[in-house]
């Protein structure tokens, strides 16, 4: 299985590196990575190999974000998902993209009710934000303030 995301060291916060064969896959893996890394707890899912596995993602929320640059778009998209997570008490583990350009995304996030998270993300930051193609694979790095 190709790598989707991994945690990198950072003094006070959480940093992840995300991979994707396409930009859409990268955005999806970033979304999933964010909710996996914070230790989502949901009775409707099970844990396998340190990851939460959910058979059903009944929650559906529309997301539409515009940003001046592609890397900012990724961070702003994750911020929007964080906002939806907070008000609906859900975690999102799939993404259905309707439109994705360098500066705009329109999509639906798929999620599940949660009882809580082990770690609380205060914000998705622009700190050390990276989004680029390396040997044909999309790669991004995002730091979360916790």
Partner 1 sequence: MSEKIITREDLIKLNDNLYEIPQSFREDMLVPARVYMNEEMIDSVLADKSLWQLVNVATLPGIKKYAIAMPDIHQGYGFPIGGVAATAIAEGGVISPGGIGYDINCGVRLLVADTTAASIKSHLPRVATEIFRSVPSGVGRGGKLKLQADEIDKVLTDGAKFMLEWGYGSLEDTELCEEQGAMPGADASMVSDRAKKRGRDQLGTLGSGNHFLELQVIDKIFDEKAAQAFGLQEGLVTVMIHCGSRGLGHQTCTDYVKLMMQKLPGWGYNLPDRELVCAPFSSPAAQDYFAAMVGAANFGWANRHVIAHWTREAVHKALGGSVKLSMVYDVSHNIGKIETHVIDGKETRVLMHRKGATRAFGPGTPETPQRYRAVGQPVLIPGTMGTASYILAGATEGMQQAFGTSCHGAGRRLSRSKAKKMVRGSELRERLESQGIIIRCASDAGLAEEAPMAYKDVDNVVNIVHESKLAYKVARLKPLAVIKGG
Interaction of residue 54 with partner 1, rule CB under 8 A:
no
What does each C-alpha distance from 81 to 12, 42, 56 come to in angstroms? 22, 17, 18
Q: Please give the distance of CA 126 from its chain centroid, rounded to a whole number.
A: 14
Determine which residue in the list 39, 96, 103, 132 makes contact with partner 1, applying CB under 8 A: 39
The encoded tokens of residue 121 equal 């993300």
Residue nearer to partner 1 on the CB measure, 25 or 54: 54
Interaction of residue 22 with partner 1, rule CB under 8 A:
no
Determine which residue in the list 1, 2, 11, 49 makes contact with partner 1, applying CB under 8 A: 11
Of 81, 130, 133, the C-alpha closest to 107 is 81
Bridge partners for 87 per DSSP = none
Rounded Cα distance between 143 and 123, Å, is: 9
Bridge partners for 104 per DSSP = 66
Interaction of residue 118 with partner 1, rule CB under 8 A:
yes
Rounded Cα distance between 108 and 98, Å, is: 8
Interaction of residue 125 with partner 1, rule CB under 8 A:
yes
Rounded Cα distance between 95 and 108, Å, is: 6
Interaction of residue 6 with partner 1, rule CB under 8 A:
no
Site for partner 1 in 71-100 (CB under 8 A): 72, 76, 79, 83, 86-87, 89
| # chain residues binding partner 1, by CB under 8 A | 36
Residue nearer to partner 1 on the CB measure, 129 or 137: 129
Binding stretches for partner 1 (CB under 8 A)? 7, 9-14, 38-39, 41, 67-68, 72, 76, 79, 83, 86-87, 89, 114-120, 122-127, 129, 143, 145-146
């Amino acid at each position: 299985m190709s790598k989707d995301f991994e945690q990198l060291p950072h003094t006070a916060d959480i940093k992840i590196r995300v991979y994707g064969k396409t930009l859409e896959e990268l955005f999806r893996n970033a979304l999933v990575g964010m909710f996996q890394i914070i230790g989502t707890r949901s009775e409707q899912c099970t844990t396998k190999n340190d990851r939460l596995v959910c058979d059903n993602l009944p929650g559906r929320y529309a997301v539409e974000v515009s940003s001046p640059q592609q890397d900012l778009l990724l961070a702003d998209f994750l911020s929007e998902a964080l906002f939806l997570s907070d008000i609906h008490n859900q975690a999102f583990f799939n993404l259905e993209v309707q439109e994705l350009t360098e500066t705009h995304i329109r999509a639906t996030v798929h999620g599940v009710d949660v009882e809580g998270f082990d770690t609380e993300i205060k914000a998705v930051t622009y700190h050390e934000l990276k989004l680029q193609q390396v040997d044909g694979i999309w790669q991004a790095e995002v730091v979360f303030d916790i």
